[in-house]
């Protein structure tokens, strides 16, 4: 997601964000992340992608 946002590619960033969400959720269920940490990470990525799409 970070690489797609840096390159400015809106479609790739949105697709990468969609692919990251299940991975973060899986990390929570496996105990890799606390649920609030995963939520924060996903929220920050979503904000970056949304800002890219409005710009």
CB-side exposure of 34: number of CA atoms within 13 Å?
3
Enter the pTM of the model. 0.87
Write down the pLDDT at residue 45: 96
Tens-binned pLDDT, residue by residue, of the chain (55 aa):
999 999 999 999 999 999 999 999 999 999 999 999 999 999 999 999 999 988 7
Structure tokens at 27: 């990390």
Write down the pLDDT at residue 27: 96
13, burial (CB in 10 Å: exposed 0-12, middle 13-18, buried 19+): buried
How far is Cα 42 from Cα 3, in angstroms, rounded to an integer?
A: 15
Structure tokens at 19: 């692919």
């Amino acid at each position: 997601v970070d690489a797609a946002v840096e390159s400015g590619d809106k479609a790739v960033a949105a697709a990468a964000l969609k692919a990251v969400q299940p991975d973060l959720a899986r990390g929570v269920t496996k105990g890799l992340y606390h649920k609030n940490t995963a939520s924060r990470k996903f929220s920050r990525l979503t904000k970056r992608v949304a800002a890219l799409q409005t710009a």
